Amino acid sequence: MVENSPAPLPERAIYGFVLFLGSQFGFMLYLVWAYVPESWLFSVGLTYWPQKYWAVALPVYLLVTLGIGYILLFGINMMSTAPLNSMHTITDNFAKSQQQKKSQEEAIPALRDIPISEVNQMFFLADKGICNRN
Amino acid sequence: MEEGVYRAVSGGRIALQRRQYSASCREFSVRCPRLQLRSLSAATCSVWLAAYGLFVLSQNSMVLSAAIFITLIGLIVYLHFVKIDQESLLVIGSLGIQMTSSYASGKENTTFIEMSQVKDVVINEAIYMQKVIYYLCILLQDPREPHGVSEVVPLFQSSKPRLDCLVEVYRSCQEILEQRKT
């Protein structure tokens, strides 16, 4: 699919402008509903509005949801971290089912997931000179 | 018997004691940082201040007695169930691996793993509470698959030594584990 680039296109310009007009209109409508007294609105003929209580309540609900959302996201992250005794810290399905290719002479070995025992031996049992090269 | 002072992940001082009983039998004991007097007095003061605040509000003197009981019982429960004093690992080459945790009240918890179930002892790294820590763990063999791992048993969970201490224990354990292949 070649059409997934974020480049500006004429259709996207029209979408953007429609969104801009719509959001400005929505904001003006919200201000009119919140500030203009009910008697004025009734005299014009617009009688079927929600209670003005919601003009204050909805933004408060939104901000509280935002605040709780930060804490909730942090908590969800902590809960989905694998515990220390879980198998997911060692391996996963892709590593278990990887194919073992035979290593050829004089060729770069194929990319593979090295088991943790070998990694440990390389890091901690090999001579210290190799590890301190960096 | 050798003893060394190292640091835990949290920064407290821990002591590692290594004993060699025979060519294929070694024991490693890690002594956790002691219960600090300042944290104990801080906890006690906060509980008692809160109780005094409640007493001033409600004028009920039972709140003060309840606070004293709560502090005493809380301290006993903490020492018996939570505060681990020493964790030790006994590796017997032909038999198995035994882990012992002794609590501050004297209680001891022991777990034994047979050598045929042990695949390897490795140092693994994982995310723990907004940190990445190294910890020693025993990989248990999967009976159905010769190269598979069925379970991971983390060691030294309360003392959480840092990498320098873990490398010492790892090298010692690997010397014993190598012998069982030959």
DSSP state letters, B13-75 = EEEEEEEEEETTEEEEEEEPPPPPHHHHHHHHHHHHHHHHHHHHHH--THHHHHHHHHHHHHH
Residue A123 DSSP one-character state: I
Host domain of residue A64: 11-80
Q: How far is A64 from chain B (nearest CA, A)?
A: 25
pLDDT digit string (tens) for A52-101?
888 899 999 999 999 999 999 999 999 999 999 999 999 888 888 887 77
Tell me the CA distances in angstroms from B128 to A44, B57, B134, one per residue in order. Answer: 63, 41, 10
Residue A107 vs residues A99, A110, A119, B26, B134: alpha-carbon distances, Å: 18, 9, 21, 43, 34
Asked if the model's pLDDT at residue B177 lies above 50, the reply is yes
Whether A48 shows a pLDDT value over 70: the answer reads yes
What is the distance between the alpha carbons of residues A52 and A37, in angstroms, rounded to a whole number?
10
Spatial contact of B182 and B30, defined as CB atoms under 8 Å apart? no
pLDDT at A129 over 80: no
* Type of residue found at A76: I
Mean per-residue pLDDT over chain A, rounded: 86
d(CA B140, CA B115): 9
Mean pLDDT over B39-54 rounds to 93
Burial class of residue B96 in the structure, from the number of CB atoms within 10 Å of its CB (0-12 exposed, 13-18 middle, 19+ buried): middle
Residue of B nearest to A125 (CA): B171
The mean pLDDT value for A104-114 works out to 82
* Cβ–Cβ below 8 Å for B137 and A120: no
pLDDT value at residue A130: 54
Q: In the predicted model, is pLDDT for residue B68 greater than 60? A: yes
Contact list in A for residue B122 (CB cut-off 8 A) is 116-117, 120
> Is any Cβ of chain B less than 8 angstroms from the Cβ of A91?
yes
Query: Residue A134 above 50 pLDDT?
Result: no
Strand-pair partners of A57: none
Quote the pLDDT of residue B75: 93
The 10s digit of each residue's pLDDT in A23-42 is 999 999 999 888 888 888 88
- Report d(CA A104, CA A98) in Å as an integer: 18
Whether residue B76 has pLDDT greater than 50: yes
Percent of chain A surpassing pLDDT 90:
44
Chain B 138-167, residues with CB within 8 Å of chain A CB atoms: 139, 147-149, 151-154, 157, 167
C-alpha closest to that of B10 among B171, B156, B168? B156
Could you tell me if B28 and B100 are in contact, meaning their C-beta atoms sit under 8 angstroms apart? Answer: no
A117 occurs within a structural domain:
no
For the ranges A91-100, A109-118, B129-138, the lowest mean pLDDT is seen at: A91-100
Q: Given CB atoms, is A23 within the 8 Å cutoff of chain B?
A: no
ipTM score for this prediction: 0.79
Question: What confidence score (pLDDT) does residue B146 get?
Answer: 83
Cβ <8 Å between A87 and B153: no
At A22 the pLDDT is: 97
The beta-carbon neighbor of A84 closest among B149, B154, B167 is: B154
Cβ distance of A84 and B171 shorter than 8 Å: no
Amino acid at A91: T
Tallying the residues shown for chain A, one arrives at: 134
Give contacts of A78 with chain B, Cβ < 8 Å.
129
Q: Which residues of B touch A90 (CB under 8 A)?
A: 124, 139, 149, 152
pLDDT digits over B80-118, tens only? 999 999 999 999 998 999 999 999 999 999 999 999 999
3-state secondary structure B116-138: HHEEEEEEEEEECCCCEEEEEEE
Helix B37-58, helix B62-77: angle, nearest 10: 160
Please state the domain count of chain A.
Answer: 1
pLDDT of residue A133: 43
**CB neighbourhood size of B1 (10 A):** 8
pLDDT of residue A128: 56
Residue B85: burial class (beta carbons within 10 Å; 0-12, 13-18, 19+): buried
A95 — contact with chain B (CB < 8 Å)? no
- pLDDT at position B120 over 90: yes
Mutation for testing the A interface, residue in B127, B153, B172 having most A CBs under 10 Å: B127
% of residues, chain B, pLDDT over 70: 99
- Going by their DSSP bridges, the two strands B132-141 and B149-154 should be labelled as antiparallel
Stronger pLDDT, B45 or A6, i.e. the higher one: B45
Q: Is residue A126 part of a domain?
A: no
Judge whether A114 is closer than 8 Å to chain B, CB to CB.
no
The distance of A30 to chain B (nearest Cα, Å) reads: 43
- Asked if residue A68 is part of any domain, the answer here is yes
Residues of B in contact with A115 (CB under 8 A): 147
What pLDDT is attached to residue A45?
79
Would residue A3 count as lying in a domain? no
For residue B89, which of B77, B79, B102, B80 has the smallest C-alpha distance? Answer: B102
Q: Chain B partners of A85 at a C-beta cutoff of 8 Å? A: 137, 151-154
**Closest partner CB to A87 (pick from B122, B149, B174):** B149
Question: For residues B7 and B14, is the Cβ–Cβ distance under 8 A?
Answer: yes
Order of all β-strands in the sheet with B2-7: B2-7, B13-22, B25-31, B84-92, B96-103, B108-114
Instruction: Label residue A1 by pLDDT band (50, 70, 90).
Output: low
In a domain, A95, yes or no: no
Contact B126 A89 (CB under 8 A): yes
Helix axes A10-35, A53-79, angle to 10 degrees: 130
**Segment A6-20, tens digit of pLDDT:** 888 888 999 999 999
Q: Residue B166 pLDDT > 90, yes or no?
A: yes
Q: Do B126 and A120 touch (CB under 8 A)?
A: no
What mean pLDDT do residues B134-143 have? 93
